[in-house]
Amino acid sequence: MVLFGKNLSVQRCLTFVTGLVECLCFAGAVFGWASLVFVLKSENYFSSLCVNTTESNGTQVLDCSHQDEQFSLVFTTASFMNNFMTLLSGFLFDHFGTMVTRFCAVSFYTTATLMLAFGNPALSNLLFPALSFLAVGGIMFLITNMQVGNLFGSRRSTIITLYNGAFDSSSALLLVIKLLYESGISLRASFLFLSACGVIHLLRTFFLLPKKFIPYPLPDDYTYGITCGKSQTRNIENIAEKSSTEDGLEETPLNRSVPQTQVKSFRQCFLSWFFLWHMVWLSVMQLRHYFFIGTLNPMLQHLTKGDPSLVSRYTNAFAITQLCGVLCAPWNGLIMDRHKGKPRAAGESEREADLRASVLSLFLTALQCVFFSVCATTAYLPLQYLTFILQVINRSFLYGGNAAFISVAFPSCHFGKLYGMVLALSAVFALLQYPCFALVKGALNGDPLYVNIALTLVSLLAFIHPLYVYLHCRKLSSQRGASGSY
């Protein structure tokens, strides 16, 4: 019997709700960087890099461009670690299971908050490991929580996207810390409180999550958490492993000599065109978002001509809109789950129907990114409110759709590895944000117009992925029609 008694739905609902709170309040805090930068500047972090300069009219001004570059480098490093370390996190999760992965997550996250709590301007470089640990711990929380969607069958994609939306919205945590700081509560007190919350993460690990994995599809007698009596975990894991191996996608790999009926290995999934175009889809849009977030503070400084009250107001507006990510993400899941419960075409598998449903999601995400990028390129301050709204909608669609597509396009036994691999490779591409920022600060004299135009054009590559998936589904449909005509 499970600790919560005979009514398993109570435990599952608690698992879902607490997982949502964990993702919403902790996991993606690093992406609230713009709010934290405002506070760190007030605390004089990297202030030694500001120098007095004389303009052409003889006016003395304080040039803090090198300080901005250092803050941008901190975020570039953290965002890279957030994605690149997802590869190792995925392998860790697939091989050792939930409990081991979450122990690592709690360790990284608590170390990060303690570093930020006891840091000071003399130890400004401590921001590099602190933000990186915060990012890695947060993404591990997300990876271990996304499997909760397996408990709810037909709403699996909706819950996965909802958790990713909560991950995006958790960037508002640093807005809360900024507002508390302006109310007189120190950074040390705020981050010490976050450190103490590690106890809550550990309790949830023991009572509301499995030691290994939540299988999909879910066996009728599945139990998890701390149990009394004989545990069924081992048998269930064997069932899950067998099931996830048997339902691999019949997608033609780059190696044409592999039979289509053969179950896809991790290598075959990695070398498939699906994975290649999905990586391109994620990478180009992620670079656009990272460059926007990493340069938001200097961009607002440029557009407001250095007015600190206006910079603070727009920074708060950006952070508040991030809260809406948890509301926007389920729309994407509903788009992908809209065919559930409806009769499928003759001979069409459930996985093929899932793929067909993903085409609209992939296309809308790419289209949103183009609109967001155009608004971000326009140097008109009031328009940035719309930019913030489009950014949070697109970001929630992007990461929720990324996880949901991998869960339906590839065997579930490879989910952690493929999810980590696509984020790790996209992280390498995202490193281009720093040379882009250096170009803006150097040769372009602080004007990001040409870089923004270039990134908008690059983001058009994202449309290749939905087109390829659409053509693949149409090909499968034609093959079914041809075989049914005989």
Express each pLDDT in 132-179 by its tens digit. Answer: 999 999 989 998 998 888 887 777 778 887 888 888 788 889 989 999
Amino acid at 41: K
Model pLDDT, residue 222: 76
Q: Model-level pTM greater than 0.85?
A: no
On the question of pLDDT at 483 being above 50, the answer is: yes
**Model confidence pLDDT, tens digit, residues 256-315:** 343 444 557 878 888 889 899 999 999 999 999 988 987 887 888 888 887 888 888 898
Q: What residue ranges do the domains of the chain occupy?
A: 8-51+62-226, 266-477
- Least-confidence region, from 126-130, 144-148, 477-481: 477-481
CA angle 385, 78, 169 (to 5 degrees): 40
**Fold agreement between 8-51+62-226 and 266-477:** yes
Q: Does the pLDDT of residue 17 top 60, yes or no?
A: yes
Q: Where are the beta strands (DSSP E) in 82-219?
A: none
Mean pLDDT, range 358-379, rounded to an integer: 93
pLDDT digits (tens, 9 = 90+) for 61-87: 777 778 888 888 898 888 888 878 887
Neighbouring CB atoms inside 10 A of 367's CB total 15
More confident residue, 455 or 226: 455
More confident residue, 326 or 45: 45
3-class SS string, 296-354: HHHHHHHHCCCCHHHHHHHHHHHHHHHCCHHHHHHHHHHHHHCCCCCCCCCCCCHHHHH
Q: What is the pLDDT of residue 161?
A: 79
Place of tokens 């069932």: 239
Mapping DSSP to helix (H, G, I), strand (E, B) and coil, where does residue 52 land? strand
* Per-residue pLDDT at 251: 39
The pLDDT assigned to 227 comes to 54
CATH number of 8-51+62-226: 1.20.1250.20
409's tokens = 């396009």
**How long, in residues, is the chain?**
486
- How many angstroms separate the CA atoms of 446 and 459, rounded? 22
pLDDT of residue 461 exceeding 90: yes
Domain spanning 266-477: which CATH class is it, in words? mainly alpha
As a whole number, mean pLDDT of residues 237-252 equals 42
- pLDDT band, residue 433 (cuts 50/70/90): confident
Cα of 347 vs its chain's centroid, Å: 35
480/484: higher pLDDT: 480
pLDDT of 485 strictly over 60 = no
pLDDT bin (cut points 50, 70, 90) of residue 363 is very high
